[in-house]
Structure 1
Amino acid sequence: MTSRTILITGANRGIGLTFTEIYAKQNWQVIACCRDLEQSIELRRLAKQLPNITLETLEITNPKQIQNLAYKIMQPIDILLLNAGIKGASQTLSEINAEDMLTVFDTNVVGQLSMIQYFADKVTASYDKQIVVLSSKMGSIDDNRSGGSYSYRASKAALNIVMKSVAIDLAPQGVHVLILHPGWVKTRMNGSDAPLDTFASVSGMINIINNYKNFKSGSFRDYKNQEIPW
């Protein structure tokens, strides 16, 4: 079998950068995408060390950029790994801001679905036929015991139902969908108080991805392979 290809969004730092490094060192062809390559010093340094990394500028809220990238990439995409996302403001009920909420939804929901729309054919044409999206336990309705974070919680709950529909709609083409919660990871989004490093989180998620045939398409699981209630 020829070398397989993974496309990773939000590849410039944190979880996305760690995914990029691990898959590249496992000899995958990695298409690493981020909004601003000029500012992505660590990603550019990694790409110089590992020639199987291809860098692409991509803003997932820009459908034209997504379309252009889909036209540019000729090979099948074995794994479409949708990691890019934003947290938005940490809101109490009195602080809800419609503009912030729409911005978060545009990235965390609409942008992810746009990526799938334009890349579904390339995933379908591949060997693995996987779509993996990073969601969050904060999108679990059953698990919400602390309230707040309206924009982020709502966007991740919406993303989960969108991905469940994608899993159903693409099942006839043999595409498998995984919805993963990375845990509370030390990233710029979560801050330094988070207990988990990116390597532990990503290693756990890759183990699930590698064994995707053991899980129903559309499964919602955390990095420790525990099923998360909707």
Structure 2
Amino acid sequence: MRAFITGANRGLGLELTRQYLQRGDTVFAAVRQPAEATELHELEQAYSDRLYIVPLDVTQENSIRSAVQAVAATTDGLEILLNNAGVYPHAGSGDAQQRLGQLTAEDAVETMMVNAIGPLLVAQALLPLLRAGRKARIISLSSGYGSLTWKASGDPYHYSASKAAMNMYMRSLAADIGHMGLISVVVDPGWMRTDMGGAHATQDPADSARGIIRLAEQLHAEENGSFVTWQGQPVPW
């Protein structure tokens, strides 16, 4: 199995990278600042034959093209794309900047670029490698905040809107790639104890990672375009 994981330097991305490597898979770990990815470099020492650290800024098309070229120079195909890179502007889920009265265009654009547009552009650029892989899957990490049905609060405005936008992009993508034998789904990984989720979160990233990996392996064609939890339960749009 060959996996490309964005935002692989911390939190869920790092845990997904670790678990795929422990299984014996090959991982292309994409990070914006490779020099600062200390834990990822520690993994690289243990799995130097199967871990490739790839510089990637998902908001920059030149960076996306360079990352794809780096992967293509090493392998002829991919089985998994995990769109994990995401941003929650400022301090994280306890910050007030996404509440009415504090909203700015700058925060809105940054959040939309990283959380919605970036994943779509990465998937588009990697499509030839995914089509060359074996039954490739695109797993894009969303959030319960991205559900219009579940949305019952104002805050966080930008994060919620960006995840809802990503859901639509990936639903659209699913319609185009289904006939290619590929599957695209969006997954709510739960409220995790990460830099973004904060210390009070209830979910261990290791549990979410295990569930997501299992989910990716068990996907069937009829599930293409779905929105599910890390445990495989449907999430309302």
What TM-score, normalized to structure 2? 0.93
1:141-152, aligned counterparts within 5 Å? 141-152=148-159
Distance 2:230 2:79 in 1: 20
| Alignment gaps of 5+ in structure 1 | none
Matched residue pairs, number?
Answer: 227
Question: Per-residue deviation at 1:214?
Answer: 7.0
From 94, 104, 121, the equivalent of 2:101 is 94
Residue 22 (1) aligns with residue 23 (2): no
Question: Per-residue deviation at 1:215?
Answer: 5.2
Distance 1:41 1:81 in 2: 21
Instruction: Give 1:44's aligned residue.
Output: 41
Letter in 2 for 1:192: A
From 3, 8, 11, the equivalent of 2:5 is 8
What TM-score, normalized to structure 1? 0.95
Q: Which deviations, in whole Å up to 9, do the C-alpha atoms of 1:121-163 show, x marking residues without a partner?
A: 1101110211110011100000011222110000000000110
1:121-136, aligned counterparts within 5 Å? 121-136=128-143
Q: Which deviations, in whole Å up to 9, do the C-alpha atoms of 1:34-84 show, x marking residues without a partner?
A: 011111111100111112111111111111011112123222011011100
From 154, 157, 162, the equivalent of 1:155 is 162
Q: Which moved more, 1:70-79 or 1:111-120?
A: 70-79
Question: Per-residue deviation at 1:224?
Answer: 2.1
Letter in 1 for 2:88: K
Distance 1:227 1:95 in 2: 33
Instruction: Give 2:144's aligned residue.
Output: 137
Matched residue SS, 1:133:
strand
Letter in 2 for 1:158: A
| Alignment gaps of 5+ in structure 2 | 91-96
CA RMSD of aligned residues (A): 1.2
Matched residue SS, 1:93:
coil
Moved >6 Å (runs of 4+): none
Q: Is the 8 A contact 2:28 2:71 kept in 1?
A: no
Residue 58 (1) aligns with residue 56 (2): yes
Matched residue SS, 2:185:
strand
Distance 1:229 1:207 in 2: 21
Instruction: Give 1:78's aligned residue.
Output: 79
Instruction: Give 1:208's aligned residue.
Output: 215
Distance 2:211 2:133 in 1: 24
Alpha carbons of structure 1 residues 215 and 137: separation in structure 2 relative to 1, 3 Å: farther
Instruction: Give 1:115's aligned residue.
Output: 122
